[in-house]
């Protein structure tokens, strides 16, 4: 783990002060100017170089005071009001700069900010923001997917005083970007197996520590989006615990304000681009004169517009009433289904040409539609299956009764 | 909350209270089961007490001077109770055609009556299909030599065609489409009710045999283009309202109906259906209000968005109405239950002014696909 890095705001142009004096439009232009002039440069083709290039860009962003739009300034963030966060996300998307590595910033950083000690906040959140460390998730296990509270990775205390540690044993799986991990944020069992979510603790584990083995997991498309993590007698300082022992479950899914909603417009914009590229491909191949293909493309076009209207509604809800409303709970269902159906349609539309993989020079557009067809299977599985999501919508938004055959939430 | 959001919320609440009091779904059932298409007393009170008929009519003609955004909210609320009355035909179709037309004399002649609840109206464009499509007009008009006109032809699927005091009809004059006003009791006008699926929205077949008419002096094709988009957006709002009410009905029932010793809403099969339908409802509502906002601004994307909203909201309402019956089980299949009214309104409004495929084709045209 790295030492504390304080943000360096190199010029008199201190973003925190400028925030209060400037208008939204001035803020947008200032950010845009930075993203244009201080941009990351051309994207390397070599995967390893690309990782270094991405890290350098995020370090640059942090040092200039443009990292962590929703995070407090005490931990190096920008602490932007929600409306500015939307602008920030729009400009980041527009500039096509590389996104963050790992999943820490979106998932564990808000938890640390909310529940962590001062030292944890200063050390860990800054390290993540500056990309000095890549943080990856260790929640799911081979036997604990949708039923996460049944997880079996154990952590038992050993030693005393300063030297007291948790000794962790178990296996984690579906760790996104796991092979890049410097640090793992994990849920471990400190109570009895029967105690379920009441016996779970939140631990931060050094991925380079003895006993940690990370293996790439080959997915159905031949890629390595995920890794599996083996933990054998890994000694973790007690100071690496967030919150109290056995109270880790309540910390999961902490979010800061509505940070995720701030980027919801970008999802819609991204699918807009993807669809426009598919429409162009259909036109180039003379397929839009087929009324069935045209009807399908129009249907996707309508849905992509609906995504934008849904995002606008979510953002307006937060700005006007301070809460995103029911649209926000269902919009992900719309996105995931769309992604799957669009790619499958593209493969169908291309006929046998759609089946040619990127290993062949004959592949259409480097087989992006075929790859998308395969990898989008994960859209309704990862980050909570579509089925669990529907249960949550039904119970939390529509207030339908809990299934008595299921353990209490 | 912003000023506009607050005003819209107030409009929604006032409308919802009025409907709960005087035009609930039970009132809709009472009206249609007595063989009528409207409760005239409620129609009058709607104008006098809360002024809904004049909401999107300019102040110079007695209205409140608001626009598509506000009218959309009202349509959504009326959709929730499947309001059976001449609102859509009179206020959305006829009045908005007069508002869009630049014939001040015609507007002065008819709009104040509509605003007061004293005059009902409708609009008939395509002769055979009910679409608001100036390309599909066959009825012809000829001058009567005394400054008036005579119409010959027929119109099918005219909303409230038998009861409307004023019929605005599109007719060809030397191959160009024009817009004409005809009195409901004009000589040479035959009105036949059409037996059809949705008892909450009356349709008629009108026949003109040298029927006297007054021409609305305007670019009729442009006016009808505008009204077509308003109808698409406001029908989508109405459908979103109906869908929301049907989903609420299903969810409430699933909470109390017990089988196997537990509420059926605790079963995943029911939960998943309801969650998917919530996506339908939310998206329909957001699309309808986006279309209304663009129409209010005369945005170049307004036409496309209105058709996008229509293409989504129609099938969405039908899905919700079908699942509502499914979740109710046997009781949902009975005449006594209200669920079938929602299904009938949903399917009828899904195809009445152009099918979802028609709207998708229009989106493809306008988006350059």
Average pLDDT, chain A: 92
Task: Mark whether B55 and B181 lie in a shared domain.
Answer: no
Q: How far apart are CA B20 and CA B27, in angstroms?
A: 9
* Min Cα separation A193/chain B (Å): 26
Looking at beta carbons, which residues of chain A come within 8 Å of B5? Answer: 316, 320
* Min Cα separation B57/chain A (Å): 27
Compute the average pLDDT of residues A41-58. Answer: 94
The SS3 of residue B339 is helix
Task: Mark whether B363 and B228 lie in a shared domain.
Answer: yes
Task: Answer whether A239 touches B (CB < 8 Å).
Answer: no
Task: Mark whether B277 and B265 lie in a shared domain.
Answer: yes
Contact A395/B283, CB-based, under 8 Å?
no
Facing A298 at nearest CB: one of B267, B276, B361: B361
Mutate to test the interface with B, among A394, A396, A403, A406 (most CBs of B within 10 A): A394
Q: How far apart are CA A145 and CA A173, in angstroms?
A: 9
pLDDT, one tens digit per residue, over B269-309 is 999 999 999 999 999 999 999 999 999 999 999 999 999 99
Residue B223 has what pLDDT?
98
Looking at beta carbons, which residues of chain B come within 8 Å of A301? Answer: 308, 363-364, 367, 369
CB atoms near residue A394 (< 10 Å): 28
H or E element, residue A284? helix A264-284
pLDDT, one tens digit per residue, over A196-214 is 999 999 999 999 999 999 9
Looking at beta carbons, which residues of chain A come within 8 Å of B276? Answer: 333, 390
Dihedrals φ, ψ of B154, to 5°? -150, 155
Q: How far apart are CA A83 and CA A80, in angstroms?
A: 8
pLDDT at residue A18 above 70? Answer: no
Residue A256 has what pLDDT?
76
The SS3 of residue B212 is strand
Active site residue A22: no
H or E element, residue B173? strand B166-173
The SS3 of residue A258 is coil
Nearest CA in chain A to B365: A298
Q: Which of B360, B350, B362 is nearest to A298 (CA)?
A: B360
Facing A404 at nearest CB: one of B262, B278, B363: B262
Task: Answer whether A162 touches B (CB < 8 Å).
Answer: no
Residue B74 has what pLDDT?
98
Burial of B3 (0-12, 13-18, 19+ CB in 10 A): exposed
Pair of tokens at residue B368: 């350059």
Mutate to test the interface with B, among A289, A314, A325, A400 (most CBs of B within 10 A): A400
Q: How far apart are CA B230 and CA B291, in angstroms?
A: 9
Mutate to test the interface with B, among A281, A293, A306, A407 (most CBs of B within 10 A): A306
Fold exhibited by the domain A15-129: Butyryl-Coa Dehydrogenase, subunit A; domain 1 (1.10.540)
Residue A12 has what pLDDT?
38
Compute the average pLDDT of residues A368-379. Answer: 96
Compute the average pLDDT of residues A309-325. Answer: 90
pLDDT at residue A11 above 60? Answer: no
Contact B270/A400, CB-based, under 8 Å?
yes
Compute the average pLDDT of residues A218-243. Answer: 96
Count of domains for chain B: 3
Enumerate the domain spans of chain A. Answer: 15-129, 135-251, 263-397
pLDDT at residue A325 above 90? Answer: no
Task: Mark whether B140 and B48 lie in a shared domain.
Answer: no
Nearest CA in chain B to A318: B1
Bridge partners (DSSP) listed for residue A188: A201
Residue A383 has what pLDDT?
84
Contact B262/A401, CB-based, under 8 Å?
yes
Rounded to two decimals, what is the model's pTM? Answer: 0.93
Facing B275 at nearest CB: one of A297, A309, A394: A394
pLDDT at residue A409 above 90? Answer: no
Compute the average pLDDT of residues B326-335. Answer: 97
Task: Mark whether B231 and B346 lie in a shared domain.
Answer: yes
Contact B275/A306, CB-based, under 8 Å?
no
Count how many Cα atoms sit within 13 Å of the Cα of residue A274 in the half-sphere of its side chain.
22
C-beta separation of A384 from A396 below 8 A: no
Count, residues in chain A: 409
Task: Mark whether B305 and B350 lie in a shared domain.
Answer: yes
Compute the average pLDDT of residues B52-73. Answer: 98
Task: Mark whether B126 and B89 lie in a shared domain.
Answer: no
Task: Answer whether A315 touches B (CB < 8 Å).
Answer: no
Pair of tokens at residue B282: 């939310």
Q: How far apart are CA B161 and CA B194, in angstroms?
A: 10
Average pLDDT, chain B: 97
CA B25 to chain centre: 17
Residue A19 has what pLDDT?
52
Task: Mark whether B213 and B229 lie in a shared domain.
Answer: no
Contact B279/A330, CB-based, under 8 Å?
yes
Q: How far apart are CA B245 and CA B127, in angstroms?
A: 33
Give the CATH number of domain A263-397; options: 1.20.140.10, 2.130.10.10, 2.40.70.10, 3.40.50.1100.
1.20.140.10
- Pick A18 or B20 by higher pLDDT: B20
Pair of tokens at residue A351: 């006929």
Contact B290/A312, CB-based, under 8 Å?
yes
- Single residue among B116, B135, B151 that ends a domain in this structure: B116
Mutate to test the interface with A, among B7, B244, B267, B282 (most CBs of A within 10 A): B282
Contact B274/A288, CB-based, under 8 Å?
no
Residue B3 has what pLDDT?
79
Catalytic-role residue among A91, A141, A228, A259: A259
Residue B229 has what pLDDT?
98
C-beta separation of A263 from A69 below 8 A: no
Nearest CA in chain B to A314: B286
Q: How far apart are CA A286 and CA A190, in angstroms?
A: 62
Of A5-19, A346-360, B319-333, the poorest mean pLDDT is in: A5-19
Facing A334 at nearest CB: one of B283, B361, B363: B283
A vs B: CB pairs below 8 A: 128
> Could you identify the residue written with the tokens 């050390």?
A123
pLDDT at residue A406 above 90? Answer: no
Contact A403/B266, CB-based, under 8 Å?
yes
Pair of tokens at residue B241: 């309202």
For chain A positions 365-404, those within 8 Å of chain B (CB to CB) are: 387, 389-391, 393-395, 397-404
Residue A5 has what pLDDT?
45
Residue A407 has what pLDDT?
83
C-beta separation of A309 from B290 below 8 A: yes
pLDDT at residue A261 above 90? Answer: no
The percent of residues above 70 in pLDDT, for chain A, comes to 95
Task: Answer whether A279 touches B (CB < 8 Å).
Answer: yes
Burial of A46 (0-12, 13-18, 19+ CB in 10 A): exposed
Task: Answer whether A201 touches B (CB < 8 Å).
Answer: no
Compute the average pLDDT of residues B201-229. Answer: 97
Contact B305/A305, CB-based, under 8 Å?
yes
Domain A135-251 of CATH type 2.40.110.10: yes
Facing B266 at nearest CB: one of A298, A321, A401: A401
C-beta separation of A45 from A51 below 8 A: no
Residue B332 has what pLDDT?
97
CATH number, domain of B110, equals 1.10.540.10
Domain that holds residue B269: 222-367
Contact A301/B290, CB-based, under 8 Å?
no
Nearest CA in chain B to A283: B369
C-beta separation of B169 from B204 below 8 A: no
DSSP single-letter state for residue B261: T
Contact B278/A334, CB-based, under 8 Å?
no
Q: Which of B295, B306, B319, B320 is nearest to B358 (CA)?
A: B306
Looking at beta carbons, which residues of chain B come within 8 Å of A277? Answer: none
Give, in degrees to the nearest 5, the angle at Cα A232 between A218 and A141. 45
Compute the average pLDDT of residues A145-171. Answer: 95
Contact A310/B360, CB-based, under 8 Å?
no
- Single residue among B171, B187, B219 that ends a domain in this structure: B219
C-beta separation of B356 from B315 below 8 A: yes
Residue A207 has what pLDDT?
98
Facing A305 at nearest CB: one of B276, B308, B369: B308
* Min Cα separation A389/chain B (Å): 9
Contact residues for B190 (Cβ-Cβ < 8 A; gap 6+): B206, B207, B209
pLDDT at residue A352 above 90? Answer: yes
pLDDT at residue B39 above 50? Answer: yes
Is the complex ipTM more than 0.85?
yes
Task: Answer whether A409 touches B (CB < 8 Å).
Answer: no
CATH number, domain of B232, equals 1.20.140.10
DSSP single-letter state for residue A144: B
Contact B361/A326, CB-based, under 8 Å?
no
Contact B360/A302, CB-based, under 8 Å?
yes
pLDDT at residue A109 above 50? Answer: yes
Compute the average pLDDT of residues A351-380. Answer: 96
- Single residue among B73, B101, B116 that ends a domain in this structure: B116
pLDDT band at A260 (very low <50, low <70, confident <90, very high): confident
pLDDT, one tens digit per residue, over B216-245 is 999 999 999 999 999 999 999 999 999 999
């Amino acid at each position: 783990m790295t030492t504390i890095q304080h943000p360096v705001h190199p010029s008199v142009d201190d973003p925190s002060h400028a925030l209060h004096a400037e208008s939204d439009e001035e803020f947008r232009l200032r950010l845009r100017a930075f993203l244009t002039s201080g941009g990351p440069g051309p994207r390397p083709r070599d995967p390893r170089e690309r990782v270094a290039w991405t890290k350098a860009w995020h370090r640059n962003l942090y040092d200039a005071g443009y990292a962590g739009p929703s995070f407090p300034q005490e931990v190096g963030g920008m602490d932007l009001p929600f409306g500015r966060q939307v602008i920030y996300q729009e400009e980041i998307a527009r500039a096509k700069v590389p996104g963050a590595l790992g999943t820490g910033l979106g998932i564990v950083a808000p938890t640390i900010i909310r529940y962590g000690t001062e030292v944890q906040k200063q050390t860990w959140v800054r390290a993540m923001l500056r990309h000095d460390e890549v943080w990856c998730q260790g929640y799911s296990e081979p036997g604990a997917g949708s039923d996460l509270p049944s997880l079996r990775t154990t952590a038992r205390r050993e030693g005393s005083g300063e030297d007291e540690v948790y000794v962790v044993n178990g296996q984690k799986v579906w760790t996104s970007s796991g092979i890049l991990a410097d640090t793992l944020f994990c849920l471990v069992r400190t109570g009895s197996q029967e105690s379920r979510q009441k016996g779970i603790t939140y631990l931060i584990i050094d991925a380079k520590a003895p006993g940690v083995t990370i293996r790439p997991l080959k997915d159905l498309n031949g890629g390595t989006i995920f890794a599996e993590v083996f933990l054998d007698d890994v000694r973790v300082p007690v100071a690496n615990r967030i919150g109290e022992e056995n109270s880790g479950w309540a910390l999961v899914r902490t979010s800061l304000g509505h940070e995720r909603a701030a980027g919801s417009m970008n999802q819609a914009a991204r699918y807009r681009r993807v669809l426009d590229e598919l429409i162009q491909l259909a036109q180039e191949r003379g397929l839009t004169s087929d009324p069935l293909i045209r009807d399908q493309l129009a249907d996707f076009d309508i849905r992509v517009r609906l995504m934008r209207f849904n995002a606008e509604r979510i953002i307006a809800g937060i700005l006007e009433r301070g809460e995103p409303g029911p649209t926000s709970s269902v919009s992900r269902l719309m996105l995931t289904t769309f992604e799957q159906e669009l790619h499958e349609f593209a493969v169908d539309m291309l006929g046998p040409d759609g089946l040619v993989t990127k290993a062949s020079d004959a592949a259409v557009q480097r087989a992006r539609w075929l790859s998308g067809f395969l990898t989008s299977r994960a859209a309704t599985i990862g980050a909570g299956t579509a089925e669990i999501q529907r249960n949550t919508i039904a119970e939390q938004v529509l207030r339908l009764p809990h299934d008595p055959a299921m353990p209490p939430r | 909350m912003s000023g506009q959001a607050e005003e819209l919320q107030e409009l929604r609440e006032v409308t919802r209270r009025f409907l709960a009091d005087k035009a609930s779904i039970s009132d809709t059932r009472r009206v249609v089961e007595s063989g009528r298409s409207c409760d005239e007393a409620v129609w009058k009170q709607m104008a006098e007490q809360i002024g809904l008929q004049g909401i999107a009519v300019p102040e110079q003609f007695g209205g409140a001077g608001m626009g598509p955004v506000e009218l959309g909210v009202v349509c959504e609320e009326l959709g929730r109770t499947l309001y059976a009355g001449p609102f859509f035909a009179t206020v959305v179709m006829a009045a908005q055609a007069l508002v869009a037309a630049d014939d001040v004399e015609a507007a002065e002649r008819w709009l104040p009556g509509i605003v007061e609840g004293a005059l009902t109206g409708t609009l008939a464009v395509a002769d055979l299909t009910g679409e608001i499509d100036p390309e599909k007009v066959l009825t012809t008009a000829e001058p009567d030599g005394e400054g008036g006109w005579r119409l010959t032809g027929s119109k099918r699927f005219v909303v409230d065609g038998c009861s409307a005091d004023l019929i605005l009809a599109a007719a060809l004059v030397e191959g160009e489409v024009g817009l004409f006003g005809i009195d409901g009791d004009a000589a040479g006008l035959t009105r036949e009710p059409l037996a059809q699926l949705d008892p909450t929205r009356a349709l008629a077949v009108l026949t003109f045999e040298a029927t006297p008419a007054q021409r609305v002096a305007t670019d009729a094709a442009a006016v009808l283009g505008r009204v077509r988009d308003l109808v698409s957006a406001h029908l989508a709002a109405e459908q979103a309202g109906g869908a929301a009410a049907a989903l609420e009905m299903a969810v409430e029932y699933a909470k109390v109906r017990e089988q196997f010793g537990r509420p059926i809403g605790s079963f995943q099969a029911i939960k998943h259906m309801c969650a998917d339908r919530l996506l339908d409802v939310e998206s329909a509502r957001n699309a309808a209000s986006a279309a209304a906002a663009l129409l209010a601004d005369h945005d170049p994307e307004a036409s496309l968005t209105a058709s996008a909203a229509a293409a989504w909201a129609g099938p969405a309402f039908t899905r919700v109405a079908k699942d509502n019956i499914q979740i109710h089980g046997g009781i949902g299949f009975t005449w006594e239950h209200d669920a079938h009214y929602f299904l009938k309104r949903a399917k009828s409004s899904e195809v009445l002014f152009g099918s979802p495929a028609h709207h998708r084709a229009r989106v493809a045209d306008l988006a350059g696909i």
